[in-house]
Amino acid sequence: MLEVDIFNAHPLGKNYSRVFRIRFCGKAKLVVLVTRRGFEVSESTVGRILAYPRKRVYAARKPSDYEVKAPGDLVQIDTLDIRPEPGCVRKQFSAGDVKSKWAFADIRSAATS
């Protein structure tokens, strides 16, 4: 069963409860779930709450006491935009293994996974 956290205050200070997006749930489904809990909200209100910017989580730093024991335990990754001419953008990806000193670099036209 899906659980919706509706008890947190809305970030804009209104009486509406905050609704967190759940996998496979759209605005309409969340309105139904919240209404079942006894709250009156419209679909547009749920959409505004879901669109509210959240703090982005960046990569976690490694602990200072972390010890690299084997190849692949710690890999450094970097990206770079290369603009050889106006209107042409390339992405350079480079990765280096700290333990084995193995390195890799590649240039692509888009930064897709």
Alpha carbons 33 and 37: distance in angstroms, whole number: 7
Res 14: pLDDT: 47
- pLDDT category at 107 given cuts 50, 70, 90 is very high
Q: Of 57, 73, 105, which residue is a domain's last?
A: 57
Same domain, 87 and 99: yes
Q: Are 90 and 109 in contact (CB under 8 A)?
A: yes
pTM more than 0.85: no
Confidence class for position 26, pLDDT limits 50, 70, 90: confident
Are 65 and 107 in a shared domain?
A: yes
What's the number of domains the chain is made of?
2
Residue 64 has pLDDT above 80, yes or no: yes
Q: What is the DSSP string of 24-75?
A: T--HHHHHHHHHHTT----HHHHHHHHHS--PPP-PPPPPTT----STTSSE
53 shares a domain with 105: no
What pLDDT sits at residue 105? 94
pLDDT of residue 111: 80
Average pLDDT over residues 44-61: 77
**Which domain covers residue 74, as residue numbers?**
60-113
Whether 92 and 48 share a structural domain:
no
